[in-house]
Amino acid sequence: MMPMADLWIVRVQGKEYGPVDLDVLRDWKEDGRLIRDNEVRAPESEQWIRAGELPELFADPIPPPNAPPDFVSGGTVGAILGQSWRIFRQGLWQFLGLSALVIVPSVCAQLSSGAVGSSGEITLDLRTALAGLFNLCMLIVSLIAWPLYLAGIQILTTELVQERSCTLREIVLRALKFWPRVAGLCILVYGAFVLLIAFAFAILLMAASAGSSPILALFALGLLVLQVWMFGRVFAATLFWQQTAVLEDADAMEALRRSNVLAHSRRDLPWFRRPLWRGAVLASIWCAFATALSIGPEWSTITEYFHTLMAMQDPQAVLQAMSAHSTNVGVRLLPLSLGVLQALFRPLLGIAFVLLYFASGRTNSG
């Protein structure tokens, strides 16, 4: 921690104020002009620190966010969904702006890939190389923007729950502080689910190649049960990782620990009122909605995959056939439009989990 100085310089949105003494800083704090996240430094130092790190100014612990309305904490999943829709409409333009951070790069990449592969044949030339480079850049932009998007949803929802207005720029600037932590947690959490999904596909390939062998079929069934159990454990452990990392400002491992504890809390309630089961219901509703938007245009591809999986016994031949089915043949506007629509409504899932977090932890712990 920086040693205590007599005078301090404050930096707010790139502008510096001071030097001023602690009494002036305390007055600014009382007036709301100085908050924990503002940066300060001593005149003789180039090191900036958060004002919240100065115990002479912010000795009190960080107050938890206010809880949402009482009917959310004591109501049903339907009440949470209704409140989520109200908050989404209230902050519509901010939520759409956050969604644009991840939608625009994805759409640009899909349009670029579709334009290159519109003829059904892809040749290696300058045009293809530039398109590949462009798609790589869009992928990098999407990966960079995703943690900002997740953190922004948590911050914006909390502000709207507390009936405070904020601009998109303010939300993004506040979300930037959490980018390294949320990015690291994204790698851990999403990586775990990707491995579990890959494990499930490996089990399906094993079952397809089992043929008439009952022993191999039973072994594959046992692995499938194990995979479902592991998926449930990971889901429970990561149920509230975004909220604990952003709203509680907990580091990565502590955020996962708190998420796991909160997910398994409220054992005094009926099972359908516990955080874990309400979270599973909310996630299932979203998965059903997302599937309904995407399964129609992709139904022919899905049926081809299924018939390929059931008809072929060689796992390598299965993978080759599935790869041939997925060859890019141009831009398909209907799947692209439905994908954009799904992304526009995706903040509703984040809002619902923020409200569930409040209802499960904050409002029941006081």
- Burial (CB < 10 A; 0-12, 13-18, 19+), residue 273, is middle
By three-state DSSP, how is residue 232 classified?
helix
CA 321 to chain centre: 33
Mean local confidence (pLDDT), 47-64: 67
Q: Which pLDDT value is given to residue 326?
A: 52
Q: Confirm if 349 and 304 have CB atoms less than 8 A apart.
A: no
Over residues 199-224, the pLDDT tens digits come to: 888 887 777 766 667 787 788 788 88
Render 74-141 in DSSP notation, one character per residue: HS-HHHHHHHHHHHHHHTHHHHHHHHHHHHHHHHHHHHHHHHHTTTS----SHHHHHHHHHHHHHHHH
Instruction: Give the Cα separation of 160 and 173 in Å (integer).
Output: 17
Residue 214: which of 222, 319, 225, 318 has the closest Cα?
222
Residue 96: C-alpha distances to residues 24, 45, 80, 104 (Å): 39, 41, 21, 11
Which of the four pLDDT bands, split at 50, 70 and 90, describes residue 146? Answer: very high
Average pLDDT over residues 346-354: 94
State the Cα–Cα distance between residues 107 and 174, nearest whole angstrom: 26
Determine the average pLDDT of the residues in 192-200: 90
* Residue, of 131 and 180, whose pLDDT is higher: 180
22-33 pLDDT, tens per residue? 888 888 777 667
Pairwise CA distance, residues 160 & 258, whole Å = 24
Give the H/E segment covering residue 288.
helix 275-295
pTM above 0.85, yes or no: no
Higher pLDDT, 270 or 246: 246
Please classify residue 259 by burial: count the beta carbons closer than 10 Å to its beta carbon, then call 0-12 exposed, 13-18 middle and 19+ buried. buried
Residues 40, 49 contacting (CB under 8 angstroms): yes
Over the stretch 311-337, which tens digit does the pLDDT of each residue have?
555 555 555 555 555 544 455 677 778
Domains parsed from the chain with CATH numbers: 7-53 (3.30.1490.40), 70-365 (no CATH)
8-state DSSP, 8: E
3-state helix, strand, coil in the chain (%, to 5): 70, 5, 25
Question: CB neighbours of 221 closer than 8 A, spacing ≥ 6?
Answer: 207
| Residue 9 backbone phi and psi in degrees, to 5 | -110, 135
